[in-house]
Amino acid sequence: ITNWFKTDVYKLRLHTWFKTHFDYMAVDTSPDEEVFVQEAPLLSANLYWKGPSVQIGREGAPALPDFYTTANSPCFHEWEGNFTRYGDVLPLLTQADDKFVIMHAGDAVEMEFDALPSLGMERDYMVFTDAFYKEDFVHYLLGQEVSNVEPLPFHGMPYYPYPDTMSYPYDEEHILYLNEYNTRQFNKDYFDHHNTIYTDYVKLMVLGDRKVTNLDTGEKFDTIQEAIDDPDTSDGHTLLVNASNDWYDGVIWVNKSITIMGEDRDFTKIDAWGGFGFKIQVDWVNISGFTIVWDDEGEAGIFINNSNHCNISNNNLSWNYVGVWLNNSDYNTIYNNEFYENTYGILLNNSGYNVIEKNDIRNSEEAGIYYTPSETPEMPTSWNEIKYNNISNNYYGIELYGTDNETIYDNEFYSNDYAVYLTNTNDSNVSCNKMMYNTYDGVVVYNCSNITVEHNDIKSGMMLQSPESYSIYVKTVNGWELQKELHFFKNYETVSLDLSNVLPDVDGECKVRIMQHGGIAAHIDYVALFDRIPFAPASAICINDGSNVLHKILHEDNDVADAWEKTIEVTWDKSVSSPTLLFRANEEPFANGSPLFTPHHMIPEFMMPYTVEDNGVITIDGVPDTLSSPDFSSYWMPTSGHPKGFTYVWLRSDGEYLYATMEITSDNTYDDTGWGSLYIYANGDVKEFKIDSSHHEYGREGFVYTAKVSWQHMVYEFKIPLSEIGISLGDTIKIGYGSYGTLEYERSGISIIGGKGHTINNNTISNYTYGIYLSKYVRHGFMGIVYDVDTPDWNNITSNTIYNNSGYGIYVDAGDNNTIFNNKIFNNSYGIYLDKNVVAGMLWYIYGVYTPDNNTIANNTIYNHTDYGIYIDAGDNNTIINNTIYNNSDGIYLDKNVVEEYDWMFGYYYVYDVYTPDNNTIANNVIYNNSGYGIIVLMNGGWGHGYGIYIDAGDNNTIINNTIYNNSNGIYLDKNVVYEEEYDYYEPPAEDGSMVYGVYTPDNNIIANNTIYNNVWYIMPPPSPPSQNGEGYGYGIYIDAGDNNTIVNNIIFNNSDGIYLDKNVVYGGYDLGKPAIDGGIYGVYTPDNNTIANNTIYNHTDYGIYIDAGDN
């Protein structure tokens, strides 16, 4: 009643027509006190019958009801209508929505609120209700009967009863409410004194005195800032902040070395809306026991600026830009805090010697922990310790950029995109961490040096025996009987199954049924029966829909048959007496696959520019038009069983629409979960236009054969209105594209990109594409100019256990002087793979070729790989020693490489150079049971693998003191013919006219002191071998047209052939199978000047020593 009175004499006149009793009246003229009002949550509400309360009379005062005493006789009467049924009515009382608890006299609602005061707190309570109260005598006032439930009141009615033109909201939502809750019906009985209450919303308001207490002075304050600023508050004091359901204001500046403690972390809450919760600007500050949220100004829940020796513990810092931000601050401890849904959980800017320990950091948009150096060049202090934290569901678990001497120890990383990502970071240690089920890489080391990654357990997903399976049935006297359950994973494998006891079947036929079940997708690439040679089936019918899938399963060619939840019956037209089923297939589990994108991040800086021209239309029918060279292309490398291949994009416009065709050669399967998207940046915004099996607003998909590849694959055709993009002809936009078809990115347990001197020791890595991945780093400048190439050199990879990775156990891209020692590598596609790399510069002209040289591969155990145990691509001076290599497709394989360059002027590729594997040492290895049989057989109609040691056209290699047995071939030194294949990038090479560029023979090699035995001809060659040279299997030592080789002191027995030195005829044309084309014979290469001495050779089914036309 402020400003009601003109003088200090207060006179009021109160008028009411109710019977009213006044007990006390006064006017308060004291100064206003700030009162904090907080709504307490309603926890429960229960409607029940209590009955009428006893009225207690008092002399000179109105009677009051005694709630806890019920009258013996009823004094209320029932009226007609539907009242709310008894029981839980909480959903009706949480908001004002015209969903009432309708009560008659004698009903009661018992409600529970979360509003107990904390220790030392005082509270007053006010109950607010949003309700209509219908008196039984209202009809006397209004001249009509309104004492029944109907008509229902509602918010917004001008008066009651409201006019006939208005109504309670009988929409679907409110009708559901009436039918569910208002089911307690009463018949009409005209008695008086009945009241009806319509209660819509109830809340409890808590009035309290928030107190901040200085425990050293005993003073109390209303705000934290007041307590800090008080002149009696000194360094070393402790402030206790009482818990409350209300929020304390943020933007708290801390400029004294004090301890600030929240009474209860969950109920001592700070609103950081103004930019930060606490900003610390002094050393030796401790903050604990708070919930700090909602920073929106780009700072932090707690910001430590140029301050040292602070302790942040037991806080909840959520929904901030940064949970805790350290700027130029050292020797601080961040301990036992919870970080949830921040952009960054913890951010360190040029800060060092800090300990980050036992925190729970989850759901950060960018990084759980992020380090960045100062914008001004300063020596980073670094030396931070990050240990014992639980870091999960972040994009980056830990991302460190531009720092040294960091320790990441014994943390648990779950379900991040990347667990640990280091960039420009040196001399740091990542050890004893557990990294599970992260989407992409476990540890990435990018352009760093001297990083140690050791004793980590790194696993992505489970790769135990899958629940998916293929069931193989053969018809017997008892009908179709199960012979075997075969289990596969996402990468294709070839398995063999002996069916000699059941085929031919009871009808004398060679017929099998293959029934698949489980997973989200399953495909078959190849089926054959094998008895010394493979027999192709005559028919293959899908029992489910009657479709013919024979053409899909005849060759291993990525043209695969969809077998998911299907039964396929395969029949041979000739009897095979002792057949073995050869079966190549895959199965994809339920939680598999990630989209592929170009560019990787769909932001304008990375997208490709395109100017919209009036250049025609594309027919939108799911079949790509015949167009010229594509506008964009990128090479996608999926890891979910799909082949690697190019994605091509063509763009056209007619002034009204933008047309696009996206052909994805790497997506060779069709399923209704797949999609293709075109991303267009225009007018400051990136828009996505998506096509899938149920959304064709912008075009349609197709599953087609084209000239690009031999297998059926996905294509997406788009037709997008220019008006919807907001562009016209002549405008320049930016383009990106992406697709999902159970494709996914290649991932690594540990990824090293550039840098030198790293140690990767004693880690356990499984279920990635690459177990350990070492790649070069290329620094590009304007127009693609290469500034520098940093290859991964002088790294030590030791004592790791690497298994069940879909691609490579260890992959090194063009690195030199690396040591790979004492690792156990098994059940991957490749064991150890050392690759060469061609770096392209401006206009894609070759800047340089980098081969893997001077590496040492020693004392490793390498087994059960579907491809090579050890593969080196054109590397020189490598040492492979003391390894045990078995049950791989090939044991050791040293390959040559032909590098081609594109001529932009004439539009053709030509041979840039040929790189052969020379001067390598292969010594003291035990190599056995490596064979293509049962793993990879007749790949693409060609030859299987199975070499103990294979060298393609290499010179001056030393192969000494190895034990080689039970392989398809023991030691195989091959020649290689390189053709100058001038062909257009977008068209296949011509079938003739490609001339010989050069012939490379294996010369000047030493093969000594090896024991070679039991290498036999497992697989007979097909009727038409791919050359005229009689390549086969079963050699102890085979040299193809090599000169000046020394074969001495070897023990060779129980092979098909002991030592076989072959000649080779090279033809001038493109196709080796056609004699005398395009000039006829190019040359004849004979094995000359070789030395074969002091060998022990016996028990061979063919030749002991065979030399074809060799001299000297």
Give the tens place of pLDDT for each residue, 653-679: 999 999 999 999 989 888 777 899 999
Peptide bond into 91 cis (omega under 30): no
Closest CA to 1001 of 912, 875, 1090: 1090
pLDDT score of 386: 98
- C-alpha separations of 354 from 302, 397, 405 in Å: 15, 18, 12
Whether 434 has a pLDDT exceeding 90, the answer reads yes
Average pLDDT for residues 118-129, to the nearest whole number? 75
Distance CA 161, CA 406 (A): 75
Using DSSP, state whether 177 is helix, strand or coil. Answer: helix
Using DSSP, state whether 538 is helix, strand or coil. Answer: coil
pLDDT score of 789: 87
If you average pLDDT over every residue of the chain, what do you get? Answer: 84
Please count the other Cβ atoms lying within 10 Å of the Cβ belonging to residue 13: 4
Top-confidence residue, 762 or 468: 762
For 576-611, what is each residue's pLDDT tens digit?
Answer: 888 999 999 987 754 445 678 888 768 787 788 999
Please count the other Cβ atoms lying within 10 Å of the Cβ belonging to residue 843: 9
Distance CA 414, CA 370 (A): 17
Q: How confident is the model at residue 536 (pLDDT cuts 50, 70, 90)?
A: very high
Q: How confident is the model at residue 351 (pLDDT cuts 50, 70, 90)?
A: very high
Whether 384 has a pLDDT exceeding 90, the answer reads yes
For 464-523, what is each residue's pLDDT tens digit?
Answer: 334 558 999 998 888 899 998 887 766 788 888 899 899 998 888 899 999 998 777 789
For 1026-1084, what is each residue's pLDDT tens digit?
Answer: 332 334 468 899 999 899 999 999 999 988 889 999 988 887 654 444 443 444 677 88
Whether 399 has a pLDDT exceeding 90, the answer reads yes
- Sequence-ordered strand ranges (E) for 745-813: 748-753, 759-761, 764-766, 770-775, 777-780, 786-790, 796-798, 801-803, 808-813
pLDDT score of 908: 62
674 neighbors 739 (Cβ within 8 angstroms): yes
pLDDT above 70 coverage of the chain, percent: 85
- C-alpha separations of 491 from 191, 516, 638, 751 in Å: 82, 16, 10, 21
Q: How confident is the model at residue 931 (pLDDT cuts 50, 70, 90)?
A: low
Strands 786-790, 87-88: pairing kind: unpaired
pLDDT score of 1063: 87
Distance CA 211, CA 121 (A): 8
pLDDT score of 1004: 95
pLDDT score of 1023: 32
Structure tokens belonging to residue 1031: 């390549």
Distance CA 422, CA 274 (A): 33
Exposure string of 678-691, with b = 16+ CB inside 10 Å and e = fewer, is bbbbbeeeeeebbb
Sign of the CA dihedral running 20, 26, 27, 33: negative
Whether 954 has a pLDDT exceeding 90, the answer reads no
985 neighbors 1008 (Cβ within 8 angstroms): no
Using DSSP, state whether 628 is helix, strand or coil. Answer: coil
Structure tokens belonging to residue 281: 């600007």
Contacts of 731 (CB under 8 A, 6+ apart): 611, 612, 682
For 178-190, what is each residue's pLDDT tens digit?
Answer: 999 998 877 654 4
pLDDT score of 311: 98
Closest CA to 754 of 445, 402, 401: 445
pLDDT score of 744: 47
Amino acid of residue 1020: M
Q: How confident is the model at residue 987 (pLDDT cuts 50, 70, 90)?
A: very low
- C-alpha separations of 498 from 321, 484, 530, 578, 584 in Å: 62, 10, 9, 8, 15
Peptide bond into 504 cis (omega under 30): yes
Adjacent-strand bridge partners of 880: 857, 922
pLDDT score of 190: 41
Distance CA 592, CA 476 (A): 38
302 neighbors 316 (Cβ within 8 angstroms): no
pLDDT score of 899: 80
Contacts of 184 (CB under 8 A, 6+ apart): 82, 83, 84, 85, 86
Distance CA 613, CA 756 (A): 48
CA 172-176-181 angle, 5° bins = 155
Whether 863 has a pLDDT exceeding 90, the answer reads yes
Biggest alpha carbon distance in the chain?
138
Place of tokens 């050393």: 283
Q: What phi and psi, each to the nearest 5 degrees, are found at residue 993?
A: 85, -10
Please count the other Cβ atoms lying within 10 Å of the Cβ belonging to residue 1091: 12
Closest CA to 1057 of 1037, 1035, 1039, 1040: 1035
For 211-240, what is each residue's pLDDT tens digit?
Answer: 899 999 989 998 999 999 999 999 999 999
Whether 881 has a pLDDT exceeding 90, the answer reads yes
Please count the other Cβ atoms lying within 10 Å of the Cβ belonging to residue 202: 19
Q: How confident is the model at residue 935 (pLDDT cuts 50, 70, 90)?
A: very low
- C-alpha separations of 837 from 783, 848, 872 in Å: 21, 8, 12
Place of tokens 């607010």: 128
Please count the other Cβ atoms lying within 10 Å of the Cβ belonging to residue 1047: 25
